[in-house]
Chain A
């Protein structure tokens, strides 16, 4: 693969996103969300391009990216499982559920299974507090979880 061609392609895609958001007031977060949607994470090279376009230092952009839990510095697995760790879910046994899913996947929070199938992330509240415990798998929400349905979800995702 021609590395230079890859780098150029990346730069073109990032510039297109920036152009798309430029007219917004405070365009930084919308840009970063779109970059992450495009690449699955925030490539290091993005920071310089955004900095230049928004008349900021690279350090300032890095500061924003690193502040927010959502922005990833590395790609996630094929599926992202977000398990709620907040109080309402705790009251319905989410901590035990987390323990068992971690054991099943053999990973801790923020890690990806060796086969690249599932990344496990904690989330503090999905607003499904009366249907606890809750989780989100690739943007789909699930409530009233138990070990059985969570293990089905994980098995399905690893296929």
Chain B
């Protein structure tokens, strides 16, 4: 009897020992003379259960986790190869509430398939979007994406279809598709998960984008901190090329499209699209002034689509199932699904793809199960280091673009980082300024100088030096940065700073008061 066992190869699983678990299973199976086939899948996104081992049974896949190498012998004792009961057993994977409650469109295959198996990819509805795209007129592809209501998942929320139309209408001898995979926001890992867990969906999305706008070359710009994603993506591109998905004739059509992975070098600001383009060109990752828009003068001065991984990975299903299928998910002007990443001090951390419209409180307390430490939630930072800190009193905020803007925040790349009551919000505000000072590209003064002055002003408040005057100064400085910076780094750093100051004034009280309170 040949049994298939799944042990993820996702970096988050590797970080907690997936390789050792996989080899323990192989060794144990050999010792027991059992025929076990180990597949290294992507992660299901139930990261608190990693290493999540799954076994294929007649009833479906059965989950065990978190598995440590030392648990492996007892799993065999419990006959986990037939789905036997064990203290780490969770029953059928698809019935686990965290997974069952999701609407997985972009992440439909992630964790299910072998990321580098094209057969798996095709078996689970892969390539259907691209197969349809090659039969359509490019303008119809753009119209379909526009009608889907898809908005940029990188944070800005700009309508993807409008961007594509601008590039499609531009006349040039060369155009580019650039995938922004420079996922530097703390609390986010969706791009990494898709690149490691379902790389073909990104390739398919980029190829569709290329056909739609008339671009023949694509680049995935990703982070040097993501070596596993880089190697999986590169392998997948090779496989796609060999299968005729990429190359001079995409799926046998007259369209040509090819792509490469490019590695950044540890600069957070390169996640900003114009800085990213400069970096791709081999320059300092300095932000460019807009206009000209990258859609008209982007990479090497040519019309360029710059889209986030999540936006591009959502394209295949839109083409396959149709714009209205996708559009019907969500609320208001936030259509479709959003892969929310629950991180930090949270009991059930992981990736939760759902239609827009859940409340922040539902995400943190119900789905996420509150803090890992078991202490009360003090603050939740949404949208990475440039996102606002929300107190529990704002937990009724609906998770969509408009509601978050109205609440003085942003959803960004949909990372949710939970802090318990041990967090010091003055420290977090200081860190936001410090981070901006470290990562500023230096082009504009409000960001370059403002961030350093910001650290100093917060330090003065912490020391109790003219706190009231310095709080006013900090507010004024934030205002200057917000409206005077060239890009979101300087422009959004005020979000975490001001939200910390507004919602947690007690943490900014002068030192004697703070010490007395402790």
Interface set, chain A 56-92, CB cutoff 8 A to B: 63-64, 67-71, 82, 86-92
Given contacts A70-B265, A127-B188, A128-B189, A28 and B15 within 8 Å (CB-CB): no
B284 and A130 contacting across the interface, CB-CB below 8 Å: no
Given contacts A25-B300, A87-B381, A87-B431, A130 and B280 within 8 Å (CB-CB): no
Given contacts A130-B12, A144-B16, A69 and B342 within 8 Å (CB-CB): no
Residue interface mask B345-372, A partner, CB < 8 A = 1: 1100110000000000000000000001
For B417, give its contact among A27, A67, A129 (CB under 8 Å): A129
Given contacts A63-B284, A124-B435, A87 and B11 within 8 Å (CB-CB): no
Q: Decide if B454 is an interface residue (CB 8 Å cutoff).
A: no
Closest to B415 in A: A129
A141 and B435 contacting across the interface, CB-CB below 8 Å: no
Kindly state the separation between the CA atoms of A86 and B322 in the bound complex, as whole angstroms.
Answer: 39
Q: How large is the interface on B (under 10, 10 to 19, 20 to 34, 35 or more residues)?
A: 35 or more
A130 and B350 contacting across the interface, CB-CB below 8 Å: yes
Closest to A134 in B: B15
In the complex, what residues of A have CB within 8 A of residue B420's CB?
91
In the complex, what residues of A have CB within 8 A of residue B263's CB?
29-30, 33
Query: In whole Å, how far is A93's beta carbon from the nearest beta carbon of chain B?
Result: 8
Residue in A69, A89, A128 whose Cβ sees the most chain B Cβ within 10 Å: A128
A87 and B349 contacting across the interface, CB-CB below 8 Å: no
A129 and B265 contacting across the interface, CB-CB below 8 Å: no
A129 and B15 contacting across the interface, CB-CB below 8 Å: no
B12 and A71 contacting across the interface, CB-CB below 8 Å: no
Interface set, chain A 18-39, CB cutoff 8 A to B: 24-30, 32-33
A86 and B11 contacting across the interface, CB-CB below 8 Å: no
For B343, give its contact among A28, A70, A130 (CB under 8 Å): A130
A141 and B266 contacting across the interface, CB-CB below 8 Å: no
Query: In whole Å, how far is A157's beta carbon from the nearest beta carbon of chain B?
Result: 17
A130 and B346 contacting across the interface, CB-CB below 8 Å: yes
Given contacts A64-B282, A68-B285, A129 and B423 within 8 Å (CB-CB): no
B417 and A124 contacting across the interface, CB-CB below 8 Å: no
In the complex, what residues of B have CB within 8 A of residue A82's CB?
225
Interface set, chain B 159-203, CB cutoff 8 A to A: 183-189, 191-192
Closest to A144 in B: B16
In the complex, what residues of A have CB within 8 A of residue B47's CB?
130-131
In the complex, what residues of A have CB within 8 A of residue B227's CB?
139
Kindly state the separation between the CA atoms of A29 and B225 in the bound complex, as whole angstroms.
Answer: 15
In the complex, what residues of A have CB within 8 A of residue B14's CB?
140-141
Closest to B174 in A: A25
Closest to B223 in A: A127
Query: In whole Å, how far is B132's beta carbon from the nearest beta carbon of chain A?
Result: 30
B226 and A28 contacting across the interface, CB-CB below 8 Å: no
Q: Decide if A41 is an interface residue (CB 8 Å cutoff).
A: no
Kindly state the separation between the CA atoms of A100 and B231 in the bound complex, as whole angstroms.
Answer: 33
Q: Decide if A117 is an interface residue (CB 8 Å cutoff).
A: no
For A89, give its contact among B186, B225, B265, B282 (CB under 8 Å): B186
B192 and A127 contacting across the interface, CB-CB below 8 Å: yes
Residue interface mask B61-104, A partner, CB < 8 A = 1: 00000000000000000000000000000000000000000000
Q: Decide if A132 is an interface residue (CB 8 Å cutoff).
A: yes
Interface set, chain A 113-159, CB cutoff 8 A to B: 123-132, 134, 136, 139-144
Given contacts A30-B262, A69-B265, A125-B225, A92 and B284 within 8 Å (CB-CB): no
Given contacts A129-B344, A130-B47, A131-B349, A124 and B187 within 8 Å (CB-CB): no
Closest to A25 in B: B300
A132 and B344 contacting across the interface, CB-CB below 8 Å: yes
B282 and A129 contacting across the interface, CB-CB below 8 Å: no
In the complex, what residues of B have CB within 8 A of residue A142's CB?
15
In the complex, what residues of A have CB within 8 A of residue B131's CB?
none
In the complex, what residues of A have CB within 8 A of residue B16's CB?
131, 143-144
Kindly state the separation between the CA atoms of A74 and B211 in the bound complex, as whole angstroms.
Answer: 45
For A136, give its contact among B50, B225, B441 (CB under 8 Å): B225
In the complex, what residues of B have CB within 8 A of residue A92's CB?
344-345, 372
Residue in B187, B223, B281, B381 whose Cβ sees the most chain A Cβ within 10 Å: B187
Query: In whole Å, how far is B218's beta carbon from the nearest beta carbon of chain A?
Result: 12
Given contacts A91-B423, A125-B186, A127-B188, A64 and B284 within 8 Å (CB-CB): yes
Residue in A123, A128, A129 whose Cβ sees the most chain B Cβ within 10 Å: A129
For A87, give its contact among B15, B189, B266, B344 (CB under 8 Å): B344
Given contacts A30-B262, A68-B267, A91-B419, A129 and B385 within 8 Å (CB-CB): no
Kindly state the separation between the CA atoms of A128 and B183 in the bound complex, as whole angstroms.
Answer: 12
Residue in B12, B184, B281, B285 whose Cβ sees the most chain A Cβ within 10 Å: B12
Query: In whole Å, how far is A22's beta carbon from the nearest beta carbon of chain B?
Result: 12
Closest to B422 in A: A93
Kindly state the separation between the CA atoms of A28 and B281 in the bound complex, as whole angstroms.
Answer: 8
Interface of B with A (CB < 8 Å)? 11-12, 14-16, 47-48, 50, 183-189, 191-192, 217, 223-228, 260, 262-268, 279-286, 300, 341-346, 349-350, 372, 381, 384-385, 415, 417-420, 423, 428, 431, 435, 438-439, 441
Given A124-B385, A130-B48, A141-B15; 14 other pairs, CB 8 A cutoff: A27-B282, A29-B280, A33-B224, A67-B441, A87-B384, A88-B187, A90-B431, A91-B417, A125-B185, A127-B188, A127-B225, A128-B189, A130-B342, A132-B345
- Offer 27 A-B interface pairs, CB within 8 angstroms, sorted by A: A26-B281, A30-B262, A63-B284, A67-B286, A68-B264, A68-B267, A68-B285, A70-B224, A70-B266, A87-B344, A88-B186, A90-B419, A123-B225, A124-B186, A124-B435, A128-B11, A129-B415, A129-B417, A130-B12, A130-B343, A130-B346, A130-B350, A131-B12, A131-B16, A139-B227, A141-B228, A143-B12
Interface of A with B (CB < 8 Å)? 24-30, 32-33, 54, 63-64, 67-71, 82, 86-92, 123-132, 134, 136, 139-144
